Structure formats: structure tokens, C-alpha cells
Chain A
């Protein structure tokens, strides 16, 4: 067992190394992407500031809460994109080009193969931006985080990572049956809702977002940092495991049908 894990770890290092070389090769593109990250952050912060120009609270939330939720979303999404970049989005192309058959015969777990083709190391900048903004929001709200809360936060953050990954995987599995990547576009814009604290949205939207566990991605971890811990915090890891297991099960379900169709 330990040998297997070491193999995956070694693979990740290799892929990271080659992705880094690739980023340096296409230097202009990397620079533009990084500049774009800053512009995106400024734009969202600007929008948030216009909400709070004349009032202290919006829908019962202070500016710091909204900024913190956005920063956490950035951090988690950037971490996700650091490791899996566009690989799951491109799953449709992988299948259509026939590369999936090639992946299936490799001695490595297929879910790992389709998730880890390429990495986008420039997302480290986005992660740092998220951390800086989060630190600013927390200090502005004058909250001191105890080690206990930080540990709980880490737990919810990891749950968010897992949930975000599983949802992405779940959506990309649909490309086994559809011809294009449009459903990913739909999911992307839905995820963009998750970067705001969900108290802003009407009740039925929030219920939907809890069932499709998007609420956990950003709202829950940022609530923890601000000192609010509720039942959602503690079921987050459970939801994460359930979501991960379901999407993995869905993947193998799709693969079973795939193999029998092509041969």
C-alpha cells in the first residue's frame, strides 16, 4: 500500500515539473493569465465595494464576510485548478480522440489519469491573492482565530476541495454521452454563484445549493473563520466523502458502459 501512494506522489511531482516547464515556455500566456487573475480580483472587490458604499450590511452580512467568502472561494478553486487545470473539462476530447482507451490500460487508477494530465502552476498566484485578501478581511473584521477554529477551518477547506473536485468530475462524466462541452459552461456559471455568501440568495436557491453541496465550497469555511460554527461545519467532511464516492461510482458506471460499447 505505501508503495502505491509513493508512485502517485512521484507522478504528481513529475507532472508538476513538466507543467512548470510548459508555463515558462509560453511565457507571454502565463504573464497574461497572471495579470488577468489580478484584474478579476480587483473587479470582484470593486463590485462588492459598490454594494457597501452607503450601508454597513447587505442582507445581514458585513463587507468583510462577503470579501472573505470570495477569497476562500478563490483559494479553493485555485488549488483545484493548480492540480487538475482543464483536464476534466477536456475529458470529452480525450474520449473522442481515443486517448481514454490508452489511459485505461495504464497501471494507474483511471480517475487519477483523467484528472492529472496537466497542471496549471500559475494558480499559485491566485492562491496567494486569495490568502492575502482573506487575511485582510479577517483583520478588518477584527477577529482573532484560535488554533482550534483554524483546525476546523482546515477540515472544512479540505472538504470543500473534495466537494469541488467531485462536482467537476460528476459534470465532466456527462461528456461520455454528449458531443460538446456546453454542460461544463453551465456548471461554471453555476459555480460562480458559490463565490458569494449564500445568504444573499432567496430561500429556494439556498436549498438547492445545499443539496448540490455548493454551499460547502465557500460559505461554510468562511463562516468558520468568522467564528460561526454550526451543524453544516461538522457534516461537511461527511458530505465530502459521500460526494467523492458518488462521483467515483458514477465514473466507473460510465466506464463500464463505455468499454462494452467500443469493443
Chain B
């Protein structure tokens, strides 16, 4: 754990150079949810019946901005580049060494993103007259648990996509598919509650909901205790499944890679 701390500190020092770029990134990240809020507000003002009220939509999208930054990942292009250029070779002996550096960079960059995001969120909450969230310590703990799970799923999925570079020339298509499915089924563009019932049931078993929508649903108090427990169960299942998948792909990938390289 101490190693991780050191790597994070290094990453923060590195990211200082990009502090303006990170600000712009955070601003870009909040625009789409703001546009969606405006759209839903306009729709409701014209009498559309929606599963969420005005206040709930505002709360939802503000939380989306927050959780999206918490679970954000961007590792796959770097992993695939390292695999294709051969620079992954030093990591063969200790594969988890690479994950350390990558995680460190991820968390380090997020510290900056939060420095920018929190004031922006405060301003937006005031501008939209957002309702404060009612929560008790139990809900908060469960929320944090689901956040950790959310990040794990998102991160490992991304690593898996990157590792496919052992077999595919250009993982862009795979990455875009993953991103697109994630956009729709994680609840980033719209709350899953507005989907037709049968599509919602599909979304319940896919892993994407547990990367964004599920933590938000918990915090907004939209789930019964039974639903929370079921959700945590499915989420944990997906985490474990993707961990196994990652290890499997890594092992198979190394075998193929070594066979080709030597």
C-alpha cells in the first residue's frame, strides 16, 4: 500500500503540468449532463410525464458528474500501445507492477479533477437550486462500497479491452463499443428508469449499471433494502468475473506474445 502512495505522489507531481488541460476536461465533462438537465426541464415544463421529477433530474445529473469522475478510466490506449510497441516486456516478470503505476496515475489525476469539480458542482447546485441529499451513515457507507465496486468494474473492463491488443491490431473499435454500451447502460445519458421495462431488466444484469447508476440510485434513496443487497451481489459477481477474465486474458496474451517475440 505504501508503494501505491508513492506512485500516487509521483503522479500528482506529473499532472501539475497538465493542470489547465485537466480543468478543461472537467468542464467538458459537465456540459453534457447540464444539457440533459436543460432538456428534461424543458420537457417537463411542457407537460411531459417522466419517472423523475424536476428536482430528481437535477440531483441525478449532478451526481452523475461526481460519480463519473470517481470511476473514470483511460488506461486502455496506453496498455495497447505498450503491447504493440513491445514495451510491455519488462512487466512480464511482475505483471502487477504495471497496474500499480497505472492505478497511481489514475488516482493522482483524479485528485486534480476533484479539486476543480467540487467548486463547479457547488456553483451548479446553487444555480439549479438543487435539493440536498438525505442520507444517513448507513446509506453513505453502502454508497462508498458501491463506488469502490463501480471503479473496480470500470477499471478492469478497460484493462481487458486494452489487453486485447495481444490479438487485435487496433483495439479502437472494441474500446468504442465498450464506451458506447457503457454510455447507454450505465445511466450517463439518461436515468435507466426511463427505459422500457424489459430493457431495464437487461440493464440490471449487465455490468454497466453498477459503474454509475447503481451508486447514484442508492444515494438518492430510490432502492429498497432488498434491491440494494441484490444489486451489491450482482455488482460483486461482475467484479469477480472480470478479475478472472483479466487474469485469463493476461496469461493467454503473454503466452501468445512470447511465442511471437522469440
Contact = CB atoms under 8 A, between A and B. Distances in A.
Contact of A54 (B21, B31, B49, B169): B49
Nearest to B171: A29
Interface of A is mostly: helix
Nearest to B194: A50
Interface string B9-30: 0000000011011101101110
A28 interface: yes
A177 to B, nearest CB: 11
Given A43-B189, A52-B48, A186 B24 contact: yes
Per CB-CB distance, the 4 closest pairs between chain A and chain B, nearest first, are A32-B173, A29-B173, A189-B31, A55-B47
A127 to B, nearest CB: 19
Interface in B34-82: 35, 38-39, 42-43, 45-50
Contact of A29 (B32, B35, B46, B172): B172
Contact of A36 (B22, B35, B45, B180): B180
Given A32-B176, A51-B48, A186-B24, A200 B38 contact: yes
A259 interface: no
25 contacts: A28-B168, A28-B173, A29-B172, A32-B176, A33-B176, A36-B177, A40-B180, A47-B190, A50-B50, A51-B43, A55-B46, A57-B46, A58-B46, A182-B25, A185-B24, A186-B24, A186-B25, A186-B31, A188-B28, A189-B28, A189-B31, A189-B32, A192-B32, A201-B42, A205-B38
A143 to B, nearest CB: 22
Interface of B is mostly: helix
A54 B172 CA distance: 40
A197 to B, nearest CB: 10
A53 B95 CA distance: 52
A182 B35 CA distance: 19
A44 B45 CA distance: 20
B217 interface: no
A193 interface: yes
A188 B249 CA distance: 34
Interface magnitude class on chain A: 35 or more
A222 to B, nearest CB: 17
A29 B38 contact: no
A39 B180 contact: yes
A105 interface: no
B184 interface: yes
Interface of B: 17-18, 20-22, 24-25, 27-29, 31-32, 35, 38-39, 42-43, 45-50, 168-170, 172-174, 176-177, 180, 184, 189-190, 194
B20 A178 contact: yes
Contact of A53 (B45, B48, B168, B177): B48
Interface of A: 26, 28-29, 31-33, 36, 39-40, 43, 47, 50-55, 57-60, 178-180, 182-183, 185-186, 188-190, 192-193, 196, 200-202, 205
Given A26-B169, A53-B49, A200-B42, 16 more contacts: A32-B173, A43-B184, A47-B190, A50-B43, A50-B194, A51-B43, A52-B48, A54-B47, A57-B46, A179-B17, A186-B24, A186-B28, A189-B32, A196-B39, A200-B39, A201-B38
Nearest to A190: B31
A183 B20 CA distance: 10
Nearest to A205: B38
B153 to A, nearest CB: 21
A31 B177 CA distance: 11
A51 B39 contact: yes
Nearest to A31: B173
Contacts of A196: 35, 39
B24 A54 contact: no
Contacts of A186: 24-25, 27-28, 31
A59 B35 contact: no
Contacts of B20: 178
Contacts of B39: 47, 51, 196, 200
A59 B38 CA distance: 11
Contacts of B177: 32, 36
A28 B50 CA distance: 39
Given A55-B48, A202-B38, A26 B31 contact: no
B159 to A, nearest CB: 20
A178 B21 contact: yes
Contacts of A54: 47-49
A183 B43 contact: no
B145 to A, nearest CB: 30
